[in-house]
Amino acid sequence: MENSPEEESEPSSGIGKRRDQAQTRGSVAYQARRREIALAAGAVFYEKGYADTTISDIAECLEIDRATLYYYFTNKQDIFDDVVRDVAEADVAFAEQVQSGSEAPLTKLRMIITGLMSSYGEHYPLLYVYVRENLAAVGDDRSVWSEHMKRVNRRYDTAVTAVVQEGLDDGTIRPLASARVLAFGVIGMVGWTNRWFVPDRSPEDAASIGTAYAEMVVQGLASSPQAER
């Protein structure tokens, strides 16, 4: 993510102090409004790209003034980073929970695929914006966030790879390639939906797509019809 050519700064007033106080109190209404703003911003990021999106663009989309927006977020970076981090970490926690469970490997793979696709739909388009961004290209001011997100990505990859390896080891998954190649293929297949899936326009919802993809993967990898049991 490159820095915006017209990065806008917070107005010099007491708004930062008010925002800090509101975040500390953490009221349900305040957090809900932050979430609403983040989702609206995600649509702008998706359309214009992170680098070309300004605070003014987001405020215009929400039909509010910039001062109101600054009451909830410091800048566009704050909007994107905080919310995407929370969602990505939740997806990793789910994948790791599935990976450590007692279900059969193919059942775990099914759960991971449907869970990831459902997350893409539920948080649309924030995760798709994140998928399209290059963490290696962020500025120094965001290097801590970037390194954290790279670790989050690696944890997700590791969890899915471990599930596939478990299936290779017990013979329920056909050895078509290494666990890493198969896992990355699964993750990439779901991630590629960023090129065409728009919830309001798609004839299929995210859950249906996830179920179809899971079935396709499981049937393609299963060593026998009983492998998932």
Model confidence over 65-107: pLDDT tens digits? 888 888 888 888 888 887 788 889 999 999 999 999 999 999 9
CATH number of the domain within which 205 lies: 1.10.357.10
Same domain as 111, residue 186: yes
pLDDT at 7: 53
pLDDT at 1: 42
Nearest to 4 by CA among 82, 80, 71, 88: 80
Q: Give per-residue pLDDT as tens, 14-68.
A: 776 777 677 777 688 888 888 888 878 878 887 887 778 888 999 998 898 888 8
Same domain as 215, residue 182: yes
pLDDT at 5: 42
Same domain as 33, residue 115: no
**Between 61 and 115, the higher pLDDT residue:** 115
Q: How many domains does the chain have?
A: 2
Look at residue 194 and tell me if it is in a domain.
Answer: yes
Look at residue 4 and tell me if it is in a domain.
Answer: no
pLDDT at 25: 75
- 138 contact partners, CB below 8 Å, separation of at least 6: 1, 145, 146
pLDDT at 11: 61
CATH number of the domain within which 34 lies: 1.10.10.60
Look at residue 10 and tell me if it is in a domain.
Answer: no
Helix (H, G, I), strand (E, B) or coil at 8: coil
d(CA 109, CA 89): 19
Look at residue 7 and tell me if it is in a domain.
Answer: no
